[in-house]
Structure 1
Amino acid sequence: MTARRWLKVAGSFAAPGASGLIPGSRRMSSRRKTDHLERTANNYRQMAVFPAKVCGMMNESDSVRRLRLSIPHPDFSFKAGQWVDFFIPGQEKVGGFSICSSPALLRREGVIELAVKYTTHPPAHWIHHSCRLDSEVEVRVGGDFFFDPSPGGGAVDLLLVAGGVGINPLAKTAQDLLFQSSIVEACEEFPGRFSCDFHLTHQSEEVEPQLQPYISGGRISEQVLREHLESLAGAGRRETLCYLCGPPPMIESVSGHLQRLGVPPHRVLFEKWW
């Protein structure tokens, strides 16, 4: 299996409404296609396409660029976990990139952020080589896999398991870990609500001291998942929802582990359409 890093965040959140548990978010098909629009043809999409302007760029790693987009239109919105169709003027191919910022950032500043790994696919290649500040593009939100807490819902715990650079990205080595500072800062600021483990399978060099307490070697095992589920159960009597994101073999492995550990299927949510 190819699980390379394991991120666990446990906290008290409002439970998602019915819209967060759409059957399509659990589609189990490993059929591969090359075109984003074709792969996601059966997924939810907004009707409107919105203009956006590049207002920030930075390299998260040697192969991943974070793109900051200003989208001032008041009707633009998204839910945590969704992606955008990414339209580039003069470019026939349409990109599909996960939104790596929170809906709260959009509400506060009118911006979203994307983390795009370099590939030769034209949209990703354009972002890494041709995109500039003030470049104008268009975006459209899509995706059935998201966390959408309802204001009146009960509190739940979240177990988030992710792997594979490019899918709200995680990595083989510490050098490739994206957003590690933000994640560690949240864990240190709210130690009773957030915790994380970074599972690295190809780390050979010593990691920096601040990161060491959060690093584990090897793949995600059933025992690892058992320990974290037991920790969550010991912290309270809230329902635990498990969100999985990563390569298809990792999804199959982890969902199988969780099933054997007694987690009901409706509490294990994932998306696997590529």
Structure 2
Amino acid sequence: MSNKYNITCVFEDGATTHFHTSAIETVYSAALRSGLTLETDCREGACGVCKAFLADGQCDIGDVSDEALTEDEQEEGFLLACQARARSDMVLEFAYPLSMLKKEVAVIDARISELEPVADNVMRLVLESDADTPVFLAGQYVNMTVPGRVPARSYSFANAPGDNEKMEFFVRLLPEGAMSDWLRDHAKVGDSLQVQGSYGQFFLRPPRAGRVVMVAGGTGLAPMLSMLAQLKASGNPMPQVTLLYGANFAGELFGQERIAEYGDNVTLHRVVVNGEDGWQGQTGFVTDLLADGLLDDAASTDAYLCGPPPMIDAAREKLLALGVPSARIFAEKFLPATSVEGAA
């Protein structure tokens, strides 16, 4: 019997689909069998229409022409879905939206199983469902809706992808906002929501050299918690992770006890903008922590950034200056807390 592998496809619009394949069928054939018709033309490895980037995993690229897939592209990690056959679980990135294929991401009904404040204006929300919970990659998000009350809002998973029993999120409660008002004033255990996903091109890649730096602002810590849990559960030696975490006030920080469970594998640096209320740590912006000497091998470091756009832009600039390759800096921006609710 042929080995069975899981294929995850991430599209330009952030939508994600999943299907199974065997070692003897092509990615395109397996997708078609699952009901997903990927973009293609010749189906003979000659046109390049079905080109995808292999973000994770191994495959046999099959018989392809130099015009459709050059040697440089092969070395960079590209393949043709009509020819490639999996040799492990794979994550593929496609340069067009899933919506172009006229396929919608499923919506599932869920209910609140846990609801608790974990910091000033931060609520921990755990959902469960009688249906299958969304398959996701560590770092991705869902769109969450309260039918008739709250339109879709985007929140990143905080739990590991392998945890099929729950969906965990950390939500920043804004002074005004449909989801914030509902969670703060009305929501209770047992209440129903709808979840659609998963989405996002911000997800964990295999560490190249055992060095990872994460920069999180506010509830941008949530996807980092998911990534840490996945790194621990992967079965491979956990890399050395430097986690830089910032907030406006000390009371807004959360997650320290969970991070401490990783021991020496994770070095946590916390900083707040306003060092009041007895705060004994460093003050300033989280990007101030990206200083010379922080990374002992920047060229072999993978970086993950999640927070408001100004933080992302400043962190990217400093990481590049430190020597982290641009292609190994992955980021998720969400709207500032002073604006409307967005991905977090």
Q: Please, what TM-score do these two structures have when normalized by structure 1?
A: 0.69
Aligned-partner SS, 1:84: strand
1:162-192 residue CA offsets vs partner (Å, 9 max, x unmatched): 11x3433652222210112212343xxx21x
> What are the Cα deviations for residues 112-149 of structure 1, in whole angstroms up to 9, with x where unaligned?
11111212221222122111111111101211111154
Distance in structure 2 (CA, Å) of the matches to 1:22 and 1:161: 26
Structure 1 pair 154–134 and aligned structure 2 pair: CA distance change class (3 A)? same
For residue 11 of structure 2, what is the aligned residue in structure 1? none
For residues 90-133 of structure 1, the C-alpha deviation after alignment (integer angstroms, 9 at most, x for no partner) is 126212222222223x23xx101111121222122212211111
Which residue is 2:256 aligned to?
180
Q: How does 1:149-188 map to 2 (within 5 A)?
A: 149=206, 156-163=210-217, 165-168=218-221, 170-186=246-262
**For the Cα contact (< 8 Å) 1:68–1:112, is it kept in 2?**
yes
**Matched residue type, 1:180:** Q
What is the root-mean-square deviation of aligned Cα atoms in Å? Answer: 3.1
Given the alignment of the two structures, is residue 200 of structure 1 paired with residue 269 of structure 2, yes or no? no
1:90 — aligned with what? 148
Structure-1 separation of matches of 2:94 and 2:250: 34
The structure-2 alpha-carbon separation of the partners of 1:195 and 1:272, relative to structure 1 and needing over 3 Å to count, comes to same
Q: How many positions carry a matched residue from both structures?
A: 220
Determine whether 1:101 maps to 2:142.
Answer: no
In the alignment, what sits opposite 1:139? 195
Amino acid at match of 1:161: V
Question: Runs of 4+ in structure 1 displaced over 3 angstroms?
Answer: 18-24, 153-156, 220-225
Partner-residue secondary structure (3-state), 2:313: helix
Greater gyration radius: 2
Q: Do structure 1's residue 79 and structure 2's residue 137 form an aligned pair?
A: yes
Aligned to 1:8: none
Mark the CA change 1:223 to 1:97 in structure 2 (over 3 Å): closer, same or farther.
closer
Query: 2:305 pairs with 244, 259, 266, which one?
Result: 244
The CA distance in 2 between the partners of 1:158 and 1:22, in whole Å, is 25
Instruction: Give the corresponding residue for 1:128.
Output: 184
Counterpart of 1:219?
A: 285
**Structure 2 vs 1, CA of residues 223 and 137 (structure 1 numbering), >3 Å: closer, same or farther?**
closer
Match of 2:17 in 1: none
> 2:141 and 2:309 mapped to 1: Cα distance?
18
Query: What secondary structure is seen at the aligned counterpart in 2 of 1:197?
Result: strand
Distance change >3 Å, CA 222–CA 58, structure 1 → 2: closer
More helix by share: 1
Residue 62 of structure 1 and its aligned partner are, at CA, apart by 2.8
Percent sequence identity is 26
Secondary structure of the corresponding residue to residue 259 of structure 2: helix
TM (norm. structure 2) is 0.56
In the alignment, what sits opposite 2:232? none
Query: 1:220–1:135: structure 2 CA closer, same or farther, 3 Å change rule?
Result: closer
Secondary structure in 2 aligned to 1:201? strand
Q: Which residue of 2 aligns with 1:229?
A: 295
5+ residue gaps, structure 1, are 1-15, 25-40
User: Relative to structure 2, which stretch is displaced further, 137-146 or 154-163?
Assistant: 154-163
